[in-house]
Structure formats: structure tokens, C-alpha cells
């Protein structure tokens, strides 16, 4: 059975406000074929987001230049709960909600070479646009708490935007993990800040690489196949490393272990011919939810 991809790049992102390596920094794992067409793994630990994007651009050019099709996974949410773009007042008349959100964040979030970023101010501004108060984004250190951004979780009951996307609810209900809400910006396990800082870089890569696509937003509902990938050299997708139990090698940082394991996990799924399965493998989602997932929320590959 032929594979859909020739190389697998997995990215453990970081929302750090200064250059940092080691724990809670950016780790990039690359599983690709060597000169003997055998899969070999290597990783890189990079101290800023701008450097990480430059690194990704380089490795993508190298792999696609030799004819590889590349899967690139990011460990943060690539979408927001259905209705977010409209709640922000974004123009979705000639673009999908996910596109409007990606472009909006790219226009707001500008990383500096020293890795500083205004994510809390941006979140506070979006809260003001949505609710005029500290909802839905939450979680900030005391110095960044303002009237429209709290350090504690707001009440989501009865609010127009839910706390979790469909995929997070699915994983929780299926006891496949305890993913955090994209609205949570800080504290243990949070992913919100990674999404705010990461989506602009995914947007930039997508804009710079015309033969790339973001899954599942730019695919029809159904399985990812050789036919649906015709003309596509790079696929960006959302990943959830906790799908694989953590087994760090001696002296290996947990983040480094996660990208190594999830790279091999997706390679194994691809080798078995099940990596490209449709969003709802057990038909638990109705067509309305599938439509919202593909238009705005996104999904975790393999979930």
C-alpha cells in the first residue's frame, strides 16, 4: 500500500516572550528518507518563532525539491469554535471563517526578533469586540489582566461561543485525552497562546507555498487520498501529541519525545493506509457539524 506522504515534520510550538530552548520551547521533529530510502529521524530545538519559520521554510524547500510530499503537524488549534469570526465582525462574504480568522490574527500578531509578542493585548481586544468584557479568552498573569481579560475562566453557560470545539469534546467524551480550550491562554496544558502566536506563521507559510493546503479546511469531506492530494506537495494539519503515551528516552526532554513519537505515529498510520480517514470515522457527527468543522473549527488529524 502506497503512502500519501514521504516525510513527516512535527512541531511543538511555544508562545514564549523571549528566546528560549529546552523545556517549553520550540521542538521540530523530522522523519524523512535518507539516501538509501530508509526513514531517519532528526530534531531541532529553536529559540524563537521567526527562526522556526525560517527553519521550516528551508527543510520544506529541501524535501519538496527532491520530490517529497510533506505532512507538517502543529500542536495547537488551527481553528476556533464555530461562530467566532462572525462574533468578531470579520468579513466572511468572500472567504471562509477560518481564512478570515487566520488573516485577522496574522495582521495583529507580529513577532519581534527577540520573541516578544502582544498576545494578551490582542486577546483582550478580541474579547472587547465579542463581549465588551472578559469573555471568551481568559488566563493571564496579573500584569496583563485588564477589564476585558481575566486571570480566571469566565462562565460559558448561555454564551454564544462554546468553551470547546467539537474535536475537543470528541476526545474528552471518547476518553482519548483532556485537551484544553483554545480560549485558555495560560497555566498548565494551555494551548490558547500557542494558537494566537502560531496561526500567523501557518498563514505566512500557506501564503508563501502555493502547492500547500491546510487540512481539513481546504479538502472536501471524506478521506484524504492520492486523488485529493493531486498537485499538493505540503499539507499542514493540527496534531495532538497526547494521542500517543509519552515514553521519553534517557535524558530526552518531554517535548522532544513528543514530536519524535507523534512523527512515527503518523508515519505508521500512513504506512497502514489509515492516515487519511475522514473526520468522523464513527459517523457520530452530523453534516451540519462537519460543515462547521471544515469552515471554521478544524480537526485533529487522526483523532
pLDDT digits (tens, 9 = 90+) for 144-180: 999 999 999 999 999 999 999 999 999 999 999 999 9
Q: What is the CATH number of the domain that holds 286?
A: 3.30.420
Structural domain includes residue 161:
no
Tell me if 266 is assigned to some domain.
Answer: yes
Indicate if the pLDDT at residue 50 is higher than 60.
yes
Q: Is 64 among the domain residues?
A: yes
**pLDDT, average across residues 101-127:** 97
pTM of the model: 0.96
In a domain, 147, yes or no: no
Mean pLDDT of 247-267: 95
Q: What is the pLDDT of residue 188?
A: 86
What whole-number percentage of the chain has pLDDT above 70?
98
**pLDDT greater than 60 at residue 41:** yes
Q: What's the CA gap between 293 and 79, in Å, rounded?
A: 8
Average pLDDT over residues 281-285: 66
For 49, the domain range is 7-77+194-297
Mean pLDDT of all residues in 256-281 = 92
pLDDT in the model for residue 278: 81
Distance CA 20, CA 25 (A): 6
Q: Is the pLDDT of residue 282 over 60?
A: no
pLDDT of residue 182: 98
Contact 301, 238 (CB under 8 A): yes
43 in a domain, yes or no? yes
CA distances from 289 to 67, 164, 294, 298 (A): 36, 13, 9, 11
Q: 193-207, pLDDT tens digit by residue?
A: 999 999 999 999 999
Domain annotation covers residue 100: no
Q: Is the pLDDT of residue 284 over 80?
A: no
Please give the pLDDT value at position 186: 94
Query: What is the average pLDDT across 129-143?
Result: 97
CB atoms within 10 A of CB 206: 19
Q: How far is it, in rounded angstroms, from Cα 268 to Cα 258?
A: 15
Rounded average pLDDT over 59-86: 98
User: Is residue 111 one of the residues assigned to a domain?
Assistant: no
Position 288 scores a pLDDT of 87
Span 212-233, average pLDDT:
95
Number of domains forming the structure of the chain: 1
| Residue 30 and residue 43 in contact, taking contact as beta carbons nearer than 8 Å | yes
- Paired sense of beta strands 70-74 and 7-12, if any: parallel
**What is the band of 280 on the pLDDT scale with cuts at 50, 70, 90?**
low
pLDDT of 283 higher than 80:
no
pLDDT at 1: 61
d(CA 243, CA 98): 24
Residue 60 lies in a domain: yes
Confidence grade of residue 124 (pLDDT, cut at 50, 70, 90): very high
Best CA proximity match to 80, nearest among 16, 141, 186, 160:
160
Mean pLDDT (the chain) is 95
Tell me the C-alpha distance between 232 and 60, whole Å: 13
Q: pLDDT above 90 covers what percent of the chain?
A: 90
Amino acid at each position: 500500500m502506497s503512502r500519501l506522504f514521504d516525510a513527516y515534520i512535527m512541531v511543538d510550538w511555544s508562545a514564549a516572550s523571549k528566546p528560549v530552548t529546552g523545556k517549553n520551547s520550540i521542538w521540530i521533529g523530522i522523519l524523512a528518507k535518507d539516501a538509501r530510502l530508509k526513514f531517519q529521524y532528526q530534531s531541532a530545538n529553536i529559540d524563537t518563532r521567526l527562526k522556526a519559520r525560517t527553519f521550516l521554510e528551508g527543510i520544506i524547500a529541501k524535501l519538496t525539491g527532491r520530490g517529497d510530499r510533506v505532512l507538517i503537524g502543529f500542536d495547537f488549534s488551527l481553528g476556533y469554535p464555530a461562530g467566532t469570526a462572525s462574533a468578531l465582525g470579520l468579513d466572511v462574504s468572500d472567504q471562509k471563517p477560518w481564512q478570515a480568522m487566520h488573516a485577522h490574527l496574522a495582521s495583529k500578531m507580529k513577532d519581534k526578533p527577540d520573541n516578544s509578542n502582544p498576545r494578551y493585548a490582542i486577546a483582550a481586544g478580541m474579547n472587547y469586540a465579542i463581549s465588551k468584557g472578559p469573555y471568551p479568552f481568559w488566563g493571564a498573569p496579573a500584569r496583563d489582566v485588564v477589564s476585558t481579560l481575566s486571570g480566571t475562566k469566565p462562565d460559558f453557560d448561555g454564551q454564544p461561543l462554546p468553551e470547546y470545539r467539537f474535536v475537543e469534546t470528541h476526545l474528552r467524551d471518547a476518553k482519548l485525552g483532556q485537551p484544553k480550550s483554545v480560549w485558555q491562554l495560560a497555566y498548565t496544558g494551555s494551548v490558547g497562546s500557542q494558537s494566537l502566536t502560531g496561526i500567523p506563521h501557518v498563514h505566512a507559510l500557506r501564503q508563501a507555498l502555493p502547492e500547500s493546503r491546510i487540512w481539513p479546511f481546504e479538502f472536501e469531506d471524506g478521506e484524504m487520498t492520492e486523488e485529493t492530494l493531486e498537485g499538493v506537495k505540503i499539507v499542514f494539519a493540527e496534531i495532538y501529541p497526547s494521542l500517543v503515551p509519552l515514553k521519553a528516552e534517557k535524558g530526552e526532554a518531554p517535548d522532544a519525545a513528543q514530536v519524535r513519537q507523534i512523527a512515527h505515529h503518523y508515519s505508521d498510520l500512513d504506512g497502514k493506509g489509515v492516515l487519511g480517514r475522514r473526520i468522523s470515522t464513527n459517523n457520530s457527527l452530523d453534516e451540519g457539524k462537519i460543515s462547521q468543522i471544515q469552515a471554521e473549527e478544524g480537526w485533529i488529524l487522526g483523532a
